[in-house]
Amino acid sequence: MHSNIRVASGDDVDVAARDLAVRFAEASRTVARAQAAQARVLADAADLGMRRVAELVSTSSREAELPFRALAAELGVAANMSDRTVQRRMNDAATLAEAFPATFDAWDQGRVSAGHVAVIMEHGLPLTDAEARSEFEAAALVRAEGTTPGRLGSALARLAESLQPRSLTERHREARAGRGACVRDLGDGMAEFSTIQPAVLAHAMHDRITQQARAIKNTDPSDARTVDQIRADLVADILLTTTPDAHTGAGMSDGFGGLGAIQAIVNVTVPALALAGVTDEPAELAGRCPIDPATARALAGHATGWDRVLADPITGCVLAVDRYTPSADMKRFLRARDQHCRFPGCRQPAHRCDRDHTLDYALGGETSTCNLACLCKRHHTLKGETPWRVRQLGGGILEWTSPGGHVYIDRPPPAVHFAPNTDPPPF
């Protein structure tokens, strides 16, 4: 499902690994085609249900649902599945067939996976204009065939935003009114506590408790809890007591020291004219989703410093970060350019990654931006301790070569996501 793969030559190629990768990719395409075929059946069932509903004398809500229920039960019993699950998937398949026919075809052909399809539907359905949705779908499919569903999501969020007829500021104002918190019982004495928040706050909350959880793990390596379990315990501790302490786990009333000293890290890219209030272009929570310009301006007003990111107006790739101190400049440049770990498909945020020398420093590699890239610890280790190889092609583009000889191209995400304004500046 990757369009950016080629095979390298050389005597050191792990032929067994290469053949396994080829077989796995083909098996994945086979699975995708089979899932698409199953979805086609469900879409046909939904279409039959609609035709049967149209034949009803009475179209009350209860009676209108009965043909769907009957068909869902028919298919569910035949496949040993819950009829509720089948009915929900019938609705999804019908929506896909009607709103995203090209995506359905690509899925049929094994060019995209079920994960890609779900992401395209998630970000494309809010586009109610048929022409805008068609434009979105065409661009989304091009991107989907060369990346993972995880990375695709943030790219499609930006793409969908650029096609929205109403500004993000207006829609965010309405959506923010729906924030809240709720509890859902799960059984076995467990329940799920969730909260709906503005994106900046939600990601900042998650980042802060992640840093706190890792601080606890570093303080006590014998702690058998996973980071995710510690995060859950921290949420309960923070909400029910005060600020937890890294060393004792006890609440601290003064809010200083220990885990209370940890601040969330939020990286936001704001178009200069939007920051000045001249335009209403959305900003972006780096690598995640667009945010309204009012929130971005509020964050900028409280920031201790700004990075002026110079980007190519066509490709959107970062060209430079305007800062005076060289070492800090490099770090800021890499964080702005890479946004996340640069191993293909990885989305670990750049501020949690190592700044790796592509050509090892010990072997003569320069400490320069053209020889540095952000890699999470997992993929940093993979590069250093296994036959995986990487080289820089210029412009931040990385060429990864697997032990089996497959070559994967990873491009830095663009920092500019909307059409450049060619009007003269208002100053």
One domain for residues 343 and 394: yes
CA distances from 203 to 167, 198, 221, 299 (A): 22, 9, 26, 14
One domain for residues 392 and 288: no
Predicted local confidence at residue 98, as pLDDT:
95
Average pLDDT (80-100) is 93
pLDDT digits (tens, 9 = 90+) for 96-127: 999 999 999 999 999 999 999 999 999 999 99
- Secondary structure of residue 344 in the 3-state scheme: coil
Asked if residue 149 is part of any domain, the answer here is: yes
- Secondary structure of residue 120 in the 3-state scheme: helix
Signed CA dihedral, 226, 232, 233, 234: sign only: positive
Q: 250: pLDDT confidence band, cut at 50, 70 and 90?
A: very low
Average pLDDT (305-316) is 57
Calpha distance 29→25 (Å, rounded): 6
Asked if residue 160 is part of any domain, the answer here is: yes
Average pLDDT (272-294) is 68
Average pLDDT (273-299) is 68
Q: 10: pLDDT confidence band, cut at 50, 70 and 90?
A: low
One domain for residues 44 and 89: yes
Dihedrals φ, ψ of 18, to 5°? -60, -45
Calpha distance 243→125 (Å, rounded): 41
Q: How many CA atoms lie within 13 A of 36 on its CB side?
A: 23
Is it the case that residue 253 has pLDDT exceeding 60?
A: no
Which residues fall within 8 angstroms of residue 215, CB to CB, at 6 or more apart? 246, 259, 262
Predicted local confidence at residue 417, as pLDDT:
47
Most confident of 135-149, 275-289, 293-307: 135-149
299 neighbors 268 (Cβ within 8 angstroms): yes
Calpha distance 233→192 (Å, rounded): 13
pTM of the predicted model as reported, rounded to 2 decimal places: 0.64
Average pLDDT (279-308) is 66
CA 197 to chain centre: 18
Q: Which two tokens stand for residue 333?
A: 């440049």
Calpha distance 87→47 (Å, rounded): 12
Which residues fall within 8 angstroms of residue 34, CB to CB, at 6 or more apart? none
Higher pLDDT, 418 or 307: 307
Name which of 24-33, 151-160, 283-292 the model is least confident about.
283-292
Number of domains in the chain: 4
Predicted local confidence at residue 11, as pLDDT:
62
Predicted local confidence at residue 176, as pLDDT:
85
Percent of the chain topping pLDDT 90: 33
CA 148 to chain centre: 9
- Helices 114-124 and 83-99 pack at an angle, to 10 degrees, of 70
Q: What share of the chain is helix, strand, coil (3-state, %, to 5)?
A: 50, 15, 35
One domain for residues 331 and 252: no
Is it the case that residue 204 has pLDDT exceeding 50?
A: yes
Asked if residue 23 is part of any domain, the answer here is: no
175 neighbors 295 (Cβ within 8 angstroms): no
Sheet holding 5-7, edge to edge: 5-7, 406-410, 397-401, 389-394
Strands 372-375 and 389-394: unpaired
Predicted local confidence at residue 398, as pLDDT:
94
CA distances from 86 to 179, 326, 397 (A): 31, 58, 43
DSSP symbols for 265-313: ---EE--HHHHTTS----EEETTTEEE-HHHHHHHHHH-S---EEEE-T
- Secondary structure of residue 8 in the 3-state scheme: coil
Predicted local confidence at residue 122, as pLDDT:
93
Is it the case that residue 394 has pLDDT exceeding 60?
A: yes
Asked if residue 181 is part of any domain, the answer here is: no
Predicted local confidence at residue 418, as pLDDT:
44
Predicted local confidence at residue 186, as pLDDT:
83
Predicted local confidence at residue 238, as pLDDT:
84
One domain for residues 322 and 291: no
Q: 256: pLDDT confidence band, cut at 50, 70 and 90?
A: very low
Only one residue has tokens 């995880």, namely 150
Only one residue has tokens 């940093």, namely 380
Predicted local confidence at residue 8, as pLDDT:
64
383 neighbors 375 (Cβ within 8 angstroms): yes
Q: 191: pLDDT confidence band, cut at 50, 70 and 90?
A: confident
Is it the case that residue 303 has pLDDT exceeding 70?
A: no
pLDDT digits (tens, 9 = 90+) for 327-362: 677 788 888 889 899 999 888 888 889 999 998 878
Query: What does pLDDT average to over the chain?
Result: 81
Higher pLDDT, 173 or 138: 138
Dihedrals φ, ψ of 95, to 5°? -65, -45
Predicted local confidence at residue 306, as pLDDT:
58
One domain for residues 324 and 359: yes
Is it the case that residue 401 has pLDDT exceeding 70?
A: yes
Predicted local confidence at residue 177, as pLDDT:
86
Amino acid at 28: S
267 neighbors 286 (Cβ within 8 angstroms): yes
Asked if residue 281 is part of any domain, the answer here is: yes
Residue at which a domain ends, from 248, 276, 306: 306
Q: 161: pLDDT confidence band, cut at 50, 70 and 90?
A: confident
Name which of 60-64, 104-108, 258-262, 390-394 the model is least confident about.
258-262
353 neighbors 341 (Cβ within 8 angstroms): yes
One domain for residues 86 and 132: yes
One domain for residues 45 and 109: yes
Name which of 208-217, 221-230, 239-248 the model is least confident about.
239-248
Predicted local confidence at residue 309, as pLDDT:
56
One domain for residues 102 and 153: yes
Structural domain span for residue 358: 318-410
Calpha distance 40→51 (Å, rounded): 17
Strands (E), 44-159: none
Is it the case that residue 266 has pLDDT exceeding 50?
A: yes
- Secondary structure of residue 129 in the 3-state scheme: coil
Asked if residue 204 is part of any domain, the answer here is: yes
One domain for residues 374 and 392: yes
Calpha distance 238→250 (Å, rounded): 10
Average pLDDT (206-216) is 90
Is it the case that residue 426 has pLDDT exceeding 50?
A: no
One domain for residues 230 and 299: no
pLDDT digits (tens, 9 = 90+) for 377-392: 999 999 988 889 999 9
One domain for residues 154 and 234: no
Asked if residue 422 is part of any domain, the answer here is: no
Asked if residue 161 is part of any domain, the answer here is: yes
Secondary structure letter of residue 421 according to DSSP: P
Average pLDDT (157-170) is 84
Residue at which a domain ends, from 149, 166, 183: 166
Calpha distance 340→156 (Å, rounded): 16
